[in-house]
Chain A
Amino acid sequence: MGPAIRIRGLRKSYRGGPPAVDGLDLEVAPGSCFGLLGPNGAGKTTTIRVLTAASPRDAGEVEVLGLDPARAPREVKARIGIVPQMDNLDPDFSVRRNLVVYGRYFGMPAARARERAEELLRFVRMEDRADTAMEELSGGLKRRLVIARALLHDPRLLVLDEPTTGLDPQSRRELWERVRDLRRRGVTVLLTTHYMEEAEALCDRVAIVDHGKVLVEGVPADLVRRHAKRDTVEAHGVPEAEMRALAGPGDEVEAHGERTSLYAESGEEVYRRVVEAHPRAEAVLRRSTLEDVFLRLTGRGLRE
């Protein structure tokens, strides 16, 4: 079986503007969960728009489940589920009606759609809310309903664009569980997120994108090891030069304002030296995370 998504040299700009995607390559294995990460304006949403046949591309090759979304948009959309950044449920319909009416666009007979709606409401744990009106649903419940709606036609690929933005920690974790369930059932998942711990928790592989290109791609733990070592020592009030003096061979030091970060394969030793030399400085030793990789690669400056 070929990749679920294959992108080669994708280029796209909006109406003569600067390129939003500028030579992006990506490959997503079937049955995996893939995270597309990047600061605002990096090109994530544009990439998703092209994949889901919502936008035409300027150049490059794109294959989704073996089909070109530009040439077979209806066929591609019949095989994928899309969870958009912003909820677009029908405000005048009940929970169940939202699903049944949506099923029509996939050619589902009403009886089949009702059956699927029951199954999916159980899946997202909303079976007791089938008759609830939209205005009575919280943000978390709306999200779950949008996910149920995206699964109506049993898609082989689910695209989630910032699915947990604005959710409380409970709802977020609940949603993670559902994504894991789907992966276990063999559904390929492509998701974008600004939460690095979410990407680490869910994704088999991630790509960090900036300025319309993939900067790095790989297994989250490997990326952390490669770009931010195992440990991070963060110190407030220790000048960069002194931090460098205390660093061991192979350690990397970065300063940003008053803060200095040191990335080390084994940070205990350095941490002890920092605390001894600067007893009044605030220093912490912790495991490096994907967020460290993200910030090292895309910089700490504000984007917008």
Chain B
Amino acid sequence: MRSLLGDVGPLSFHVFRRNLDVYLVTWKTACVSLVEPVFNFMAFGLGLGTLARDVRVGESTVPYEAFVAPGILGMSILFQAFFECLYGAYIRMYYQRTFDAITATPASLDDVVVGECLWGALRGLIGCTASLLVVMAFGHGRTVGVVAVPFLAVAGGLVYGALGLCFTGIVKSIDHINYPLHFVGVPMYLFGGLFFPVDSMPGWAQVLARANPMYYLSEALRAAFAGDLGPRVWGTALGLAAAAVPLLALAVRLMRRRIIK
């Protein structure tokens, strides 16, 4: 099938499934990253929350702990998906030669890239779900709005997965992964409205924040936590999923340029 994403077909699902199977085999070590939201919430919500002022969200004012709870989810989505498609994919591509093994079958490289991105999205969903359970245990997000959270997690996971794969397509070596990780990943989460409202930043930074998908994701997560199931939440889920398509198309091109010689 020729499409915007390249020569992609149903075999991309088997690439996704292979990664899921590895995750299930190695679940004991893979699950360790899921304790992270516990620490994150303890540090940012319970710890920092004792010092921080209440935050104004839309019409109402909420305690900092309630403000940051959905932020913990956004952080998990970003890091699980981005890291998986950056570090994890690089290891599969370069050290394990998994991409070579798969492209020796009827699967195309484009199938591999798309399958990797789908897998990154599931990692985002798994991380987000773990975080959701943690913050719900502390009494946050117990509204009907949380039904939208998995959709936001998958849509956000696709964006960060595709972005991660773009960098996997261009980084020179595994050590160079530090550049996208620290110059792209870290600012995206620190200045994406997860820990403090974007409108408290200077004007130029607010403009910059508008280009950060996390800005939209954190707003939508917060709205969902407030019980909003309106167009803002669903529109963001759709918008992020749509934004993932050109990013993934770019990742496919960059990976082709890297691998097909």
Interface residues of A (CB under 8 A from B): 14-15, 49, 52, 54-56, 73-75, 77-78, 82, 84, 86-93, 97, 101-102, 104-107, 150
Contact of A105 among B14, B97, B260 (CB under 8 A): B14
> Is the beta-carbon distance between B106 and A90 smaller than 8 angstroms?
no
Question: Which residue among A15, A74, A82, A89 has the maximum number of chain B CB atoms within 10 Å of its CB?
Answer: A74
Contact of A102 among B22, B103, B105 (CB under 8 A): B105
Query: Bound state CA distance, A89 and B22, in angstroms?
Result: 13
Contact of A88 among B17, B22, B96, B260 (CB under 8 A): B96
> Is the beta-carbon distance between A104 and B14 smaller than 8 angstroms?
yes
Scan residues 212-261 of chain B and give those whose CB is less than 8 A from a CB of chain A. Answer: 260-261
> Is the beta-carbon distance between B100 and A105 smaller than 8 angstroms?
no
Contact of A15 among B25, B101, B261 (CB under 8 A): B261
- Tell me, yes or no, whether B11 is within 8 Å of chain A by CB: yes
Given contacts A101-B18, A104-B14, A89 and B101 within 8 Å (CB-CB): yes
Interface residues of B (CB under 8 A from A): 9, 11, 14, 17-18, 21-22, 25-26, 96-98, 100-108, 260-261
Question: In the complex, what's the smallest C-beta–C-beta distance from B62 to chain A, in angstroms?
Answer: 44
Residues from chain B with a CB closer than 8 A to the CB of A101 are 18, 21
Number of residue pairs A-B, CB distance < 8 angstroms:
64
Query: Bound state CA distance, A91 and B26, in angstroms?
Result: 11
Residues from chain A with a CB closer than 8 A to the CB of B11 are 105
Question: In the complex, what's the smallest C-beta–C-beta distance from A43 to chain B, in angstroms?
Answer: 14
Contact of B97 among A54, A77, A86, A106 (CB under 8 A): A86
Given contacts A77-B106, A84-B104, A92-B26, A55 and B261 within 8 Å (CB-CB): yes
> Is the beta-carbon distance between B104 and A90 smaller than 8 angstroms?
no
Query: Bound state CA distance, A55 and B100, in angstroms?
Result: 12
Q: Residue on B with the closest CB to A73? A: B108
Contact of B105 among A92, A93, A106 (CB under 8 A): A106
Residues from chain A with a CB closer than 8 A to the CB of B102 are 105
Query: Bound state CA distance, A91 and B103, in angstroms?
Result: 17
Q: Residue on B with the closest CB to A77? A: B106
Query: Bound state CA distance, A86 and B107, in angstroms?
Result: 19
Question: In the complex, what's the smallest C-beta–C-beta distance from A266 to chain B, in angstroms?
Answer: 48
Question: Which residue among B22, B98, B104, B261 has the maximum number of chain A CB atoms within 10 Å of its CB?
Answer: B104
Contact of A56 among B26, B98, B107, B260 (CB under 8 A): B260
Q: Residue on B with the closest CB to A92? A: B22
Contact of B22 among A74, A77, A93, A107 (CB under 8 A): A93
Residues from chain A with a CB closer than 8 A to the CB of B98 are 88, 90
Query: Bound state CA distance, A157 and B101, in angstroms?
Result: 17
> Is the beta-carbon distance between A77 and B100 smaller than 8 angstroms?
no
Question: In the complex, what's the smallest C-beta–C-beta distance from B229 to chain A, in angstroms?
Answer: 38
> Is the beta-carbon distance between B22 and A54 smaller than 8 angstroms?
no
Query: Bound state CA distance, A106 and B102, in angstroms?
Result: 10
Question: In the complex, what's the smallest C-beta–C-beta distance from A51 to chain B, in angstroms?
Answer: 12
> Is the beta-carbon distance between B101 and A88 smaller than 8 angstroms?
yes
A-B contact list, 24 entries, CB within 8 Å: A15-B261, A52-B104, A54-B104, A73-B108, A77-B104, A77-B106, A84-B101, A88-B97, A88-B98, A90-B18, A92-B25, A93-B22, A93-B25, A97-B21, A101-B18, A101-B21, A102-B101, A104-B14, A104-B17, A104-B18, A105-B11, A105-B102, A105-B105, A106-B105
- Supplied contacts A84-B97, A97-B25, 6 more A-B pairs, CB within 8 Å: A74-B108, A84-B104, A86-B97, A87-B97, A97-B21, A102-B101
Residues from chain B with a CB closer than 8 A to the CB of A90 are 18, 22, 96, 98, 101
